[in-house]
Structure 1
Amino acid sequence: MSIDIKGILSLYQGKEINFLLDADGKEYSDKEARQILADLLAKGHKLIPMTQCEGFDPFGGGCPGHPIDEDEAKSDKFNLKKALKQQKRSRDRVKQIASYLKENAPALPKKPENLNLF
């Protein structure tokens, strides 16, 4: 699963982007988040992974798909809706996104000044 960068910027036009965290769990400011997303777009990235994903293609391919154990898929425990809800609540997901951003976006100054991106 992934997040479309242009989709975020479109959806949050005129709204604060306040859900991106750095690797330490500290929330990026709206300006910092927009700068990071703009930097990723400038690199050609279209997507951000929502979870750690081996082989993730940020340039549009996204997740290449991963095998699911057949027994697990058949069991009552395998409930995609429940798994997605748990995933949304997971701080690990946020940390993984933060880690991805840290690796793929340049370091921002501590107090970005005069960033008028949008």
Structure 2
Amino acid sequence: MTRVVDKRLAAALVVAGVLTALPSAPLAQGLDLYIGPGGPDVEYREPYRRDYEWRGGCSQRQALRRAYRLGMRDPAVTSIGRRQIVVDGIGRRGEYTTLRLANREGCPRIG
């Protein structure tokens, strides 16, 4: 009888050790446990999500950042199309410059 208890105790210790050794990932959602007169109640909350889907294009802000990184002074977005975003500004040597960026993720330069 003591052997059975010893085996169960050893198995419980092994399981507890394995569970404590597992890395814990930070949870992005909430889990609330309420214990009241009606018994335990578990409430699970989904992580925050925006109401719209991000389509992966190049925004105006990203286009302006890209223009600054390419050395353009005082850039301004002049037009936004389905395929391209046009940014006008002053180049590195003081000349008026037009920059065309693709309207997709990463804002790659077209011309």
Q: Identify the TM-score tier after normalising by the shorter chain.
A: under 0.3
Could you say which structure has the higher helix fraction? 1
| TM-score of the superposed pair, with normalisation by structure 1 | 0.19
Could you say which structure has the higher strand fraction? 2
Q: Which has the higher contact order (CA 8 A, sep 6+)?
A: 1
Larger radius of gyration: 2
